[in-house]
Structure 1
């Protein structure tokens, strides 16, 4: 019985995001509905911030989904609908920011930081002493290790 309840809970958790778009929001024309889904998958829920409006059940996301569908029914293209929402809410509404002068740092920062990190790692490895990289022991260290190993064996023989 516990396994059945756990399975039902798991299925409900996986199905919940699908329920964000309610049937009363959907358009009768499947082509327009698919266009609306494509557009809303790329729009950020302004309440949830890291979910698309298609996945969010927030009231504002619902309003944005309805607005997208209204604009499509009015005859707007996908680009016109996105631009309308960007004009109204700013570029933050887009899940993937556009490449502009003011978003250039967003696009360049990650590869530059990765490159700097790899360079720093390479530099640190190159600067490490050769013995530390080789992992070998010096003669003194080998002698001390042998003495410690021999002393340990003597104590176990006595016990």
Structure 2
């Protein structure tokens, strides 16, 4: 009975960095939405206070809309735009990670050979020559070349 090669479940999982960016984009978008709601509520309260003091609604609205309502709406839209950019970066990260995992398969613990096994395989490939001659240290080789 042949062993089937294990397909790493890691290649199918969403990367942690993508999950973090998804969560942060949602949090930032919620903050932006709360900021929009707060600005609208503050605008309505300000209009009501000025009208209660006896100012005409048209005069108050013409002064408060460009000075308070528009910045109160455009700034949160910028925050929501940042959340959309982060969400897009998470999508790109996720797709790029899946693509790279399909090209270079992830090694699992079972797939990685121990150093002793690797040395034995190298020795067998070298027709049972001296293992130390086959497995050389690159640092020692460069020192010998410099002499």
Indicate whether the TM-score tops 0.5: no
Which of the pair has the greater relative contact order for Cα pairs under 8 Å at 6+ separation?
A: 2
Give the TM-score of the pair, scaled to structure 2: 0.31
More helix by share: 2
Give the TM-score of the pair, scaled to structure 1: 0.30
